[in-house]
A = this chain, B = another copy of it.
Amino acid sequence: MVVATAILQLICPDRPGLVSELSGWVAANGGNIRHADHHTDSGAGLFLSRIEWDLEGFGLPRASLPAAAQLLAERLGGEGQLHFSDQLSRVAIFVSKQDHCLLDLLWRTRAGELPMEVPLVISNHPDLRSIAENFGARFEHVPVLAEHKAEAEASQLALLEEEAIDVAVLAKYMQVISGGFLQQFGPVINIHHSFLPAFTGAQPYQRAWERGVKLIGATAHYVTEQLDAGPIIEQATVHVSHRDDVADLIRKGRDMERLALARALRQHLCHQVMVYRGRTAVFD
């Protein structure tokens, strides 16, 4: 039996007494803390906190918690977010033609590994419709042509709104998301098929082979306007040798892509990731 919990994420200027103040607020309302994790970035003078407690028996009504957390954060001069563990995130998966990450995420969702629903799959190609529909997701083919990119993104945003999507995941979506899109929707999580910051941009495996590296990798990160430069959530590497040609790197890399994306997404969905100053703290 899994117990529903509330999760508070808070960032504020560092000062003495914050841990006590936050945990005291939970305790004063009868909350039983399951996890409490904090991080102080001394250089930045910032305090980050993630506290998770049982909803059962908590003194404040559930509906009032987001506002209460907001007030608490404001009092501390920071920003706070309140999540509920039993409220599944609604996730849209963007794909192109490669199916391995899509299938992996859909399977993990069905297996209970990822606390999310996937009501929507968007692709600039029609190829993966049957996989999406097989797992009960609506599939929308939105072609993206260079000269009509704005229209395509408008269609995508309308779909995200229509399906009340919380998070978009680029699961080998071979298109760049524009800054305009990101101003209207977020967060967006991407899997890049290299060990960032090495090999940003196109054809990382080809370039890794040309450079003759002995390890290749994958990086899951939040998407920002600057290509492949967003906050990194998770990275994974695997050994390669001179016997591996580019096709082997692609094959071996796919395993790292799936692992890094699934781990990063799970951490995000469990509200373990906090972003600050272009970096992440991952409270796992």
Binding site for B on A (CB under 8 A): 15-21, 23-24, 26-28, 30-40, 57, 99-100, 103, 107, 111, 113, 134, 195-199, 211-215, 217, 231-237, 241-243, 251, 255, 259, 262, 278-282, 284
Contacts and interface: CB of A to CB of B under 8 A. Distances in A.
Contacts of A195: 195, 198, 215, 237
Contacts of A40: 34
Contacts of A262: 255
A24 B32 CA distance: 15
A184 to B, nearest CB: 25
B38 A35 contact: yes
Given A215-B235, A233-B214, A38 B36 contact: yes
A175 B12 CA distance: 43
B231 A212 contact: yes
A237 B215 contact: yes
Contact of A32 (B16, B27, B32, B107): B16
B39 A16 contact: no
15 contacts: A16-B30, A17-B27, A19-B26, A19-B27, A19-B36, A20-B27, A21-B27, A33-B38, A36-B36, A100-B111, A195-B215, A214-B233, A215-B236, A217-B237, A255-B262
A232 B216 CA distance: 13
A242 B33 contact: no
Nearest to A246: B43
Contacts of A212: 231-232, 278-280
B30 A19 contact: no
A34 B38 CA distance: 9
Contact of A23 (B24, B234, B282, B284): B24
Contacts of A280: 212, 242
B242 A214 contact: no
A20 B24 contact: yes
A37 to B, nearest CB: 7
A40 to B, nearest CB: 6
Contacts of A199: 197
Contacts of A38: 33, 35-36
